[in-house]
Amino acid sequence: MRYAGWTSVVEPSATLTVVARVRQKVEAGVKVFNFGAGEPDFPTPKVIRDAAHKAIEEGKTRYTPAAGIPQLRQAFAERVNSLYGVDVDGENVVVTVGAKQALYAALRAVCEPNMEVIVPTPCWVTYPEMVKLAGGVPVLVETKAENGYVLDVEAIESAVTERTCAVIVNSPNNPTGAVYGREVLEGVVELARRHNLAVISDEVYDRLILEEGLEHTTLFALGRERVFSAFSCSKTYAMTGWRLGFGVGNKEWVRYCERLLAQSTSNACSVSQYAALAALLEGDEDAARMRREFIRRRNLMCRLLDKAGMRYVRPQGTFFLLLDVRDWIGGRSAGGMEIKDDETFAEALLEEASVAVVPGSPFHAAGRVRLSFACSQEDIEAGIASLVRFVESIRR
């Protein structure tokens, strides 16, 4: 039997691979300090859970419109209006199975086969593979640690060709934790106008700005005629398993996304939609509480890494940072494993020190590993101590 060409070029998810390996060790009774987590460790707030129970009891378990229930679309439109000063209504919003589906639907609406999509790196592992699934060609443009991993608009423009159709932007950024300022984002939109490009903006960490004095700028507010912004309940409200996201774009773009959903998955889970409605209307106090805890955890992890003399770029948002491990590549672990690259570093670290991290290479950040501080302060303290002992044991 023959399979489609994409099956040989689209890579499996590196983050999900780490999740599976951690689960195996935990099920075997091993205590793992999980810095690989890509989701909040908090329970979904009670007000949201209660709304889901109520929806079930009231029989709200039927199909909904493919783009989501109207009251949720309107509620999210009002949310972005109040937060970011835009002027949209429910028809500018599509409700999706997580932000990942919103991003993919938006991409499918603008990417023809063999067209190019510019992806700044380091980047979330899914972006290049998503472009391939859409039939396009990812074009990677590197950002630099010495510049705080902030976008270089000139570098992006130098990558534009006659086949370029879109640019993907992610701020706050996974895996770097960088937050792009308004001036940089305005430069991206102006570039897109000059070259008639679409901009797909992943803003799922918009409510997780960790640095005082910084604010999130939604790209849609800067160029609504050619920008599609994706948001999610997953990170803001600890609703990862509920699979509920939003896309915000011009009404024509949103209709094309709705058409794709209608002919593929249909609607997002009806119960999750009513839970998300409660999150928007009543969940902000819980969201703020979780954000404050992430700030404390970020500060703790950074203090411990600083004390150990490790190199990284302080994250301004998200719950991730990139740790530079190039000093230990080429050595051998106490358990005898040769540290050839960031992937073997992560493998040895998990096996010998029970610390889970995600290798940087799948994020196009070779020589780094991604650490998540979506875990308890106690685990951060014990896990960083275990990490430090591990690197001190590496023989050159």
- Whether 81 and 202 share a structural domain: yes
- Residue 396: predicted pLDDT: 78
pLDDT, mean of residues 87-113:
97
- Residue 30: predicted pLDDT: 85
pLDDT digits (tens, 9 = 90+) for 269-288: 999 999 999 999 999 999 99
Examine residue 120 and say whether the peptide bond preceding it is cis (omega within 30 degrees of 0): no
Q: What does the alpha-carbon distance between residue 188 and residue 200 come to, in Å, rounded to a whole number?
A: 11
Instruction: Assign residue 378 the CATH number of its domain.
Output: 3.90.1150.10
Burial of 378 per CB tally in 10 Å (0-12, 13-18, 19+): exposed
Helices 70-84 and 270-282 cross at an angle (nearest 10°) of 30
- Residue 188: predicted pLDDT: 98
Please report which helix (H) or strand (E) contains residue 272, including its range.
Answer: helix 270-282
Q: Is the pTM of this model over 0.75?
A: yes
Contacts of 8 (CB under 8 A, 6+ apart): none
- Whether 252 and 134 share a structural domain: yes
DSSP classification of residue 230: E
Residue with the two structure tokens 């670290």: 349
pLDDT, mean of residues 74-102:
97
Q: How many domains does the chain have?
A: 2
Which residues make beta-bridge pairs with 338? Answer: 332
Contacts of 138 (CB under 8 A, 6+ apart): 116, 117, 119, 127, 128, 131, 132
Q: Residue 351 pLDDT > 80, yes or no?
A: yes
User: CA nearest 150: which of 175, 123, 179, 174?
Assistant: 179
- Whether 279 and 332 share a structural domain: no
Q: Residue 26 pLDDT > 90, yes or no?
A: no
4, amino acid identity: A
Choose the final residue of a domain: 224, 258, 283: 283
- Whether 229 and 342 share a structural domain: no
- Whether 358 and 214 share a structural domain: no
Which range of residues forms the domain containing residue 253? 46-283
Please report which helix (H) or strand (E) contains residue 331, including its range.
Answer: none
Q: What does the alpha-carbon distance between residue 349 and residue 337 come to, in Å, rounded to a whole number?
A: 10
- Which CB contacts under 8 angstroms, 24+ apart, belong to 147-152? 148/178, 148/313, 149/122, 149/173, 149/176, 149/177, 149/178, 149/313, 149/322, 150/178, 150/180, 150/181, 150/184, 151/120, 151/180, 151/184, 151/187, 151/188
State percent of the chain over pLDDT 70: 100
- Whether 75 and 25 share a structural domain: no
Residue 21 pLDDT grade (very low, low, confident, very high; cuts 50, 70, 90): confident
pLDDT digits (tens, 9 = 90+) for 124-177: 999 999 999 999 999 999 999 999 999 999 999 999 999 999 999 999 999 999
pLDDT, mean of residues 17-37:
85
- Whether 147 and 29 share a structural domain: no
Choose the final residue of a domain: 283, 308, 337: 283
- Whether 254 and 330 share a structural domain: no
- Whether 92 and 28 share a structural domain: no
- Whether 94 and 234 share a structural domain: yes
What is the rounded average pLDDT for all residues in the chain?
Answer: 96
- Whether 273 and 169 share a structural domain: yes
- Whether 154 and 254 share a structural domain: yes
Residue 23 pLDDT grade (very low, low, confident, very high; cuts 50, 70, 90): confident
- Residue 96: predicted pLDDT: 98
- Residue 19: predicted pLDDT: 77
- Residue 18: predicted pLDDT: 78
Residue 13 pLDDT grade (very low, low, confident, very high; cuts 50, 70, 90): confident
pLDDT, mean of residues 294-310:
98
Plot region of 286 (φ>0 → left; ψ -120 to 50 → alpha; else → beta):
alpha
Instruction: Assign residue 60 the CATH number of its domain.
Output: 3.40.640.10
Choose the final residue of a domain: 249, 283, 317: 283
Q: Residue 17 pLDDT > 80, yes or no?
A: no
- Residue 279: predicted pLDDT: 98
- Alpha-helical segments (H) within 13-60: 14-27, 46-57
State percent of the chain over pLDDT 90: 92
pLDDT digits (tens, 9 = 90+) for 311-323: 999 999 999 999 9
Q: Which residue has the higher pLDDT, 396 or 329?
A: 329
